[in-house]
Copies of this chain bind each other. A is one copy, B any other.
Amino acid sequence: MNTTLLISRDEFLAHWQGHRTLTRHTLERFPEQDLFTYSIGGMRPFADLIKEILSIAVPGLEGIVHHKTEGYSHDLNLNSKAELLAEWDKQTEQVNELFKQIPDERFHEDFNLFGEYNFPIYQNLLYFVDNEIHHRAQGYVYLRSLGIEPPFFWDR
């Protein structure tokens, strides 16, 4: 087992916040109406995907930091693009604050995230980012299909 460092905690946080910047830009591109109604193949509209991301990032970190294993709810009361963007920006600060409260030694300890996902904390953190990239990419297809250019993938 080679445990040489590949990504440090500060590098991971910068990586995550870079992705969060790109997801915010993707959200900005959506016309208000399409954000809440447009979908393909029976999938959720992009507003619902953003709410899922918002209901995982900060609530997940709060669970980890405070050892709480309550479930999540994706049904957030956010009903306009402006409200989604405001909540996004609020979480940007909270992510920084909460992340730094995770003690170094906990990253490789198991934690039962939301009372359902019992994995080492570093894997839970990778999941937050993977899930965001996955849903944002769905948003890219919605935008293209609406004739709107998505942000450049490097735009973080």
Contacts and interface: CB of A to CB of B under 8 A. Distances in A.
Interface of A: 1-12, 15, 19, 40-43, 104, 107, 122-123, 125-126, 130-131, 133-138, 140-147, 153
Nearest to A3: B8
Contacts of A123: 15
Given A153-B131, A153-B134, A141 B40 contact: yes
Number of copies: 2
For the residues of A in contact with B, the DSSP-based class is: helix
A42 B6 contact: no
A2 B10 contact: yes
Contact of A4 (B4, B8, B19): B8
* Ranked 6 nearest A-B pairs via Cβ: A41-B144, A137-B137, A41-B145, A4-B104, A5-B5, A7-B7
